[in-house]
């Protein structure tokens, strides 16, 4: 999937232009406005494209040393994530690419926050969740396999309910919380993870 094509914007579009294109398409295709299964599928593409471009912008800012944390350690470029589309590799950045297992398929990358870092990048793969804590000095990349998860839930932040939090309870009794997610993104994550848990 080419996120620029999905949103109908040029590759050099600014973040404001990207957000405006997303909002216009969301008004047109949101399933609450009707359209049935076609609208649901189209809206899922639009959400994924927008999240990927937001993640790519996050990665660009933070890997260039403009983020709040220390300058990142760059992983070798050779062959990391070669099976992924270039835009997905760019959105993941060097550190998350370096944490991938061979042929691990990534289906979502989005900015988020955690209790340990107000600025993080969250990736969902076919096997696990991965996250990068921007302001950590060591232990910047975290991981939680679906097999280690017990349950997942999401909540919307009041008063406007425009921001969501995803909570995952693992089998060891720990809770992992990812905040500052878009509501549609949190819902998609919850559904896909719940399906993986069976």
* Both structure tokens of 165: 């939090």
What is the spatial distance between Cα 75 and Cα 11, in angstroms, rounded to a whole number?
A: 25
For residues 172 and 163, is the Cβ–Cβ distance under 8 A? no
pTM here is 0.79
Domain range holding 190? Answer: 3-197
pLDDT profile of the chain (198 residues), mean per 10:
91 91 90 81 89 89 57 49 90 93 94 92 96 86 95 84 91 95 91 90
Q: What is the DSSP string of 20-33?
A: HHHHHHHHHH-GGG
What is the spatial distance between Cα 117 and Cα 170, in angstroms, rounded to a whole number?
A: 20
- What CATH number does the domain containing 122 carry? 2.30.29.30
pLDDT confidence of residue 164: 93
For residues 110 and 181, is the Cβ–Cβ distance under 8 A? yes
What is the spatial distance between Cα 178 and Cα 62, in angstroms, rounded to a whole number?
A: 19
Neighbours of 113 (CB within 10 A): 19
pLDDT confidence of residue 67: 47
pLDDT confidence of residue 159: 64
- Number of independent structural domains in the chain: 1
* Both structure tokens of 113: 């926050």
């Amino acid at each position: 999937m080419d996120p620029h094509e999905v949103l109908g914007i040029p590759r050099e579009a600014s973040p404001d232009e990207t957000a405006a294109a997303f909002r216009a398409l969301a008004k047109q295709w949101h399933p609450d406005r009707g359209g049935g299964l076609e609208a649901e599928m189209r809206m899922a593409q639009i959400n994924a494209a927008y999240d990927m471009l937001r993640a790519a912008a996050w990665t660009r800012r933070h890997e260039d040393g403009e983020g709040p944390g220390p300058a990142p350690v760059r992983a070798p470029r050779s062959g990391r994530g070669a099976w992924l589309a270039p835009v997905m590799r760019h959105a993941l950045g060097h550190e998350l690419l370096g944490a991938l297992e061979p042929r691990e398929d990534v289906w979502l990358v989005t900015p988020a926050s955690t209790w340990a870092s107000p600025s993080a990048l969250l990736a969902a793969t076919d096997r696990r969740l991965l996250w990068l804590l921007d302001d950590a000095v060591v232990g910047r990349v975290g991981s939680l396999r679906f097999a280690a998860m017990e349950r997942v839930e999401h909540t919307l932040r009041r008063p406007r309910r425009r921001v969501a939090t995803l909570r995952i309870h693992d089998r060891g009794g720990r809770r992992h919380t990812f905040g500052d997610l878009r509501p549609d993104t949190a819902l998609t994550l919850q559904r896909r993870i719940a399906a993986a848990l069976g």
